[in-house]
Amino acid sequence: MMIRLVLLLILCGITISTFSQSLFESSFSSAGSTDEKKFELFGYVKSSAFSDFEESKFIAAETALKLETKKGKYGNAFIEARYQKFLSHIEDQDKSDELYLREAYCNLTFHDFDFRIGQQIIVWGRADGFNPTNNITPFDMTVFSSDEDDRRRENFVFQTIYNFYPFKVELDWVPIYRASKLPIDNIQMNNIAWGANDFPSLETDNSSYGIKLDLEKPAIDASVSFFNGYYKMPSIEWNHQPGNTEVYLNAFRTSIIGADFSTVTGKYGLRGEFAYSIPDDKTHNQQFIPSKQLEYTLGFDREWGNFSLIAQYIGKYIIDFSDDTPTPSNVFQATLAHYNQLLFAQTDEITHSVSLRPAANLLHETLSIEMLSLANCTTEEFYFKPLVEYQVSDNIALNVGAQLYYGPDATMFGLLEKQINAGFAEVKINF
């Protein structure tokens, strides 16, 4: 199936290339030159080791092979396949290797319309790293990588963009649900076994869609968006039958109204992002559906020569918040509800968080040092990601850093602290 898809996309890319472009349009081709090469093959090889003081969490070698056909008048195609060989993987100890299509899509352009069809990653939101409007592409917190992009989980999307400057309208249709992943499989839910996930089947009624209107003006960039579909983070359900009780992941529908902006005033960049989520509690008779919530991020960025800082306030308000206290008669259900509250970060009516990303670009942009940090002042959860990247040459990079979560036991970061806290070292060679 994968081979057929790859061949189809290559054929598609080659067919839609016309090679009749101007100098600059030709240079836009990923082929990287104005010659008659029909496609370009490139990629990387990466070795990674993640470990804490007690055990190695992840040791792997990875290679990515990317193929991009020359951009023609009507579009092109792109494929990235990745192969990972694991020596150690704490999140999936039975897995020794993995081959998967990271992305495989066709780009088509007709006048003011752009289409991208296939396996792809779509990122929404102008805030830095914490984007409540970013709901098309799920994420995978079990991935060990220094690159935040590697935690984005590709899915199949039909994307249409209509450009009418200074506006553009983007419509994304997601026919197949793909869930975000958290390292929660090891959670002991009162010794009840985990059953198979119950995710929506491939039916039109089960598809999701997002629509976004972007404004691009010299003074400000902004957008309003609407998402309706299965939320990327599933909830934990339980199924009780005589002699067999199990918990499993189940998806639910939600609607999310979003907006964002970015602008510059003087020496400061300003950005903000807002989302109002209205979960559909009629989707299933679920144990826990998150409440309606309002998320808001406001931040600024500033540069001083080679140093920069991005600072953000990240807030959340849970509408109709109810704090159910476990009682002896429903302690299991209360536990389940608590874990669901952790998944959706709805343990408090109002939460206040601050993120900081100080960074330095040194040695003529061959050495970059940054420290992404997040502090949830309400739940006392903290996240730190120091990262040092040294570019040995144009194609060889060394990365060292750490991913560190801290929080009380009954919090999400408290769970992650036990699972994925690690220091890491990576070598990446691009070709």
| 181: phi then psi, degrees, rounded to nearest 5 | -125, 130
Among 395, 408, 410, 418, binds another protein (CB under 8 A): 395
* Stretch of 186-194, 195-203, 378-386, 391-399 lying at the interface with another protein (CB under 8 A): 391-399
The verdict on 397 binding another protein (CB under 8 A) reads yes
Tell me the three state secondary structure of residue 292.
coil
Scan for tokens 């998402």, then name that residue.
227
By residue count, the chain amounts to 431
The verdict on 23 binding another protein (CB under 8 A) reads yes
- Is the CB of residue 156 less than 8 Å from the CB of residue 175? yes
The verdict on 394 binding another protein (CB under 8 A) reads yes
Residues 6+ apart with CB under 8 A from 53: none
The residue among 359, 290, 356, 357 whose CA lies nearest residue 318 is 290
- Is the CB of residue 83 less than 8 Å from the CB of residue 94? no
Among 62, 172, 273, 301, binds another protein (CB under 8 A): 301
Q: What does the alpha-carbon distance between residue 347 and residue 426 come to, in Å, rounded to a whole number?
A: 36
Residues 6+ apart with CB under 8 A from 418: none
The verdict on 357 binding another protein (CB under 8 A) reads no
* Stretch of 85-93, 304-312, 351-359, 375-383 lying at the interface with another protein (CB under 8 A): 304-312
The verdict on 219 binding another protein (CB under 8 A) reads yes
91 to each of 98, 149, 286, 302, how far by Cα in Å?
A: 14, 19, 27, 38
Residue whose CB is less far from another protein, 351 or 399: 399
Residue whose CB is less far from another protein, 19 or 44: 44
Site string for another protein, 58-87 (x = CB under 8 A): -------------x----------------
When computed from its CA atoms, the radius of gyration of the chain, rounded to whole angstroms, is: 23
Residue whose CB is less far from another protein, 42 or 296: 42
Q: From edge to edge, which strands make up the β-sheet containing 235-241? A: 193-194, 244-250, 235-241
* Stretch of 48-56, 280-288, 289-297, 392-400 lying at the interface with another protein (CB under 8 A): 392-400
The verdict on 264 binding another protein (CB under 8 A) reads yes
Please compute, for residue 328, the number of CA atoms within 13 A of its CA located in the half-sphere on the CB side: 0
Among 8, 10, 34, 115, binds another protein (CB under 8 A): 34
Q: What does the alpha-carbon distance between residue 270 and residue 257 come to, in Å, rounded to a whole number?
A: 21
Of 161-190, binders to another protein (CB under 8 A) are: 161, 163, 165, 168
The verdict on 36 binding another protein (CB under 8 A) reads no
The verdict on 201 binding another protein (CB under 8 A) reads no
Residue whose CB is less far from another protein, 6 or 222: 222
Q: What does the alpha-carbon distance between residue 204 and residue 222 come to, in Å, rounded to a whole number?
A: 31
Type and span of the H or E element at 310? strand 307-318
- Is the CB of residue 33 less than 8 Å from the CB of residue 418? no
Residue whose CB is less far from another protein, 149 or 409: 149
- For another protein (CB under 8 A), the number of binding residues is 54
Q: Which residues pair with 307 in a beta bridge?
A: 304, 360
Residue whose CB is less far from another protein, 24 or 53: 24
Min CB(200)–another protein separation in Å: 26
* Stretch of 81-89, 316-324, 345-353, 364-372 lying at the interface with another protein (CB under 8 A): 364-372
- Is the CB of residue 214 less than 8 Å from the CB of residue 224? no
Scan for tokens 């299933």, then name that residue.
284
Residue whose CB is less far from another protein, 110 or 190: 110
Point out which residues bind another protein (CB under 8 A).
Answer: 22-24, 27-28, 30, 32-34, 42, 44, 71, 107, 114, 121-123, 125-126, 147, 149, 161, 163, 165, 168, 214, 216, 218-219, 221, 262-264, 266-269, 271, 301-306, 364-366, 391, 393-395, 397, 430-431
